[in-house]
Amino acid sequence: MIEVSPVCGRDLAEPLRLLEESLRDGEAVPEDFAEALHRAVDAGEVEVLSARTQGRIVGVAVLAYRLNVSAAGLFASIEDLYVTPQTRRRGVGRALLQAVEERCTSRRISYVEAQVEDEDAAAFYAALGYEEECSVRVLSRSYSMSASSG
């Protein structure tokens, strides 16, 4: 059985560690980022959902809530979603997205977006009803962060 629940406070350490191992090659996030994440979770701007089977964490979803002027309401974005390789294709990702839907419904959010980097992830989301938005393009730019610009 897969149990999905929001985590906060000290309980954030384990899901954050899983994300660091998988998405950052084991490199810990900077302490100031970890503190900012805790504050965002405490403020309700971000939710971290963990999926567990037999008491072991096997997946994590990070959901961010933001105001959208054009929609005159909140929308949500799935910032990170990770399932351990050994538990993929066993319903963990589906359970996490079901929890995302429940959280958004309770907040009266009707729009959720997820950006993906590969075809497998796109197929996963599409199988669960997510649609590609052909009219939207994601543009990005990286800025240099010097020690004095903090």
Q: Is position 10 within any domain? A: yes
Q: Is position 107 within any domain? A: yes
Residue 43: domain span: 2-144
Q: Is position 23 within any domain? A: yes
**d(C-alpha 6, C-alpha 51), whole Å:** 9
Query: Tens digits of per-residue pLDDT, 16-69?
Result: 999 999 999 999 999 999 999 999 999 999 999 999 999 999 999 999 999 988
Contacts of 116 (CB under 8 A, 6+ apart): 122, 125
What is the number of domains present in the chain?
Answer: 1
Which residue, among 24, 85, 30, 31, has the nearest Cα to 59 in the 3D structure?
Answer: 85
Q: What is the mean pLDDT of residues 79-99?
A: 96
- In the chain, the percentage of residues whose pLDDT exceeds 90 is 79
CATH of the domain at 78: 3.40.630.30
Which residue, among 91, 109, 90, has the nearest Cα to 100 in the 3D structure?
Answer: 109
Q: Is position 150 within any domain? A: no
Q: Is position 25 within any domain? A: yes
pTM of the model: 0.89
Whether the Cβ atoms of residue 67 and residue 74 lie closer than 8 Å to each other: yes
